[in-house]
A and B are shown apart, each in its own frame.
Chain A
Amino acid sequence: MQRKLNQKAWFLVLPVFLLVAFSAVLPLMTVVNYSVQDTFGNNEFYWVGTEWFVEILNSERFHSALGRQLLFSGIILAIEIPLGILIALSMPKKGWGASICLVLMALPLLIPWNVVGTIWQIFAREDIGLLGHTLAAMGIDYNYTHSPTAAWITIIIMDVWHWTSLVVLLCYAGLCSIPDAFYQAAKIDGASRWAVFRYIQFPKMNRVLLIAVLLRFMDSFMIYTEPFVLTGGGPGNSTTFLSIDLVKMAIGQFDLGPAAAFSLVYFLIVLLLSWVFYTVMTARDGEAN
């Protein structure tokens, strides 16, 4: 019997299409329109062509912010992904210990981003913060408002504290989905702990790890609130990442045209790097199929 094709389901996804159109497509179109014009408000626009793109692409300020952003995301991924896997592997899979670990891991994720920035701003202060005061008492010269190195270390530790839990929870979910039969077979074969990880746990975590890498990359590449609250992009411009620089340009200086061109270049870089991560991490699956 031939099934009749029913197209009515399209109406069910229509609300989502409309929502995405208003929340994403129209703003994106507006940014593209602004990127080729100059405006001083009141809906008055002056055509400038590709001038803002040339200005942004040749701007030392943009190059520096992009360099800092790539370095930050690289460090974050290099720390959070292995650390997340390690913690997930060490967590108990059953019993009350598992529940306690899961609650503890979920806690940092429940704290709003600006609150995380405020917590660490106070925590790292030399005069009243536990961390800053302790380090100063130990004779370590640590002041994140003066030293770029201290500012970077504080932001990295803050991000690791805030977001490693996400990697842990995703990896833990992947690990819990592995049937016991795999471990029993490995035990019979006399597989080492490393072999179990390399040939059973890691391949089974592949999918969730892809999500973890993509989420952490995109989030860290677009980070704004926490470093803005903690350091405000300083000292100097040492922690001015792309989004902080973009906000300074768009809202601080009200340069909407250059900021729109900046946003589009930023968006394209995020899109390219996310696509590269996705393609590289799923390439092996495709070949296997």
Chain B
Amino acid sequence: MDFAWMGWTPFTAVFFATIAGLILSMIVWEKLSPGGAPRFGVLRFETTRGDRLFVSLLGSAFIHLAWLFFVGDALWYALGLSVLYALAVFRWV
């Protein structure tokens, strides 16, 4: 099967592998340390671990877009910000 039409690049492959890895690691995390039940965080809405991953990924996408709009390139800083944001989401939301 030829997937040339999909226009794969090493960067996009790493991007999707990272997302797949994150989802798999969530499964492993829940198996090793169950605790993904819903909870109320600082924003006063109920979230499971999966919800927090979704909020982290969605927020990270917007952090990157905002960085591109206001600052321009050098997305490593946006990535760093996104990691901090994700840690905050998993800790407090």
CB distance from B24 to the nearest CB of A (A): 15
Whether A36 contacts B9 by the Cβ 8 Å rule is: yes
Whether B68 contacts A32 by the Cβ 8 Å rule is: no
CB nearest neighbor in A for B8:
A33
Whether A47 contacts B44 by the Cβ 8 Å rule is: no
Whether B58 contacts A275 by the Cβ 8 Å rule is: yes
Contact A286/B45 with A37-B7, A268-B58 known, Cβ cut-off 8 Å: yes
CB nearest neighbor in A for B2:
A43
CB nearest neighbor in B for A28:
B16
Chain A residues, Cβ within 8 Å of B75: 50
Q: Say if the beta carbon of B38 comes within 8 Å of chain A.
A: yes
Chain B residues, Cβ within 8 Å of A271: 58
Q: How many angstroms from the CA of A266 to the CA of B49 in the assembled complex? A: 26
Chain A residues, Cβ within 8 Å of B61: 268
Whether B65 contacts A265 by the Cβ 8 Å rule is: yes
Selected contact of A57 from candidates B40, B44, B69, CB within 8 Å: B69
CB distance from B11 to the nearest CB of A (A): 7
Whether A287 contacts B44 by the Cβ 8 Å rule is: yes
Q: Say if the beta carbon of B42 comes within 8 Å of chain A.
A: no
Q: Say if the beta carbon of A39 comes within 8 Å of chain B.
A: yes
Q: Say if the beta carbon of B15 comes within 8 Å of chain A.
A: yes
CB distance from A276 to the nearest CB of B (A): 10
Q: How many angstroms from the CA of A287 to the CA of B73 in the assembled complex? A: 42
Whether A30 contacts B5 by the Cβ 8 Å rule is: yes
Chain A residues, Cβ within 8 Å of B72: 54
Whether A36 contacts B65 by the Cβ 8 Å rule is: no
Q: Say if the beta carbon of A272 comes within 8 Å of chain B.
A: yes
Q: Say if the beta carbon of A53 comes within 8 Å of chain B.
A: yes
Interface residues of A (CB under 8 A from B): 26, 29-30, 32-34, 36-37, 39, 43, 45, 47, 49-50, 53-54, 57-58, 265, 268, 271-272, 275, 279, 282-283, 286-287
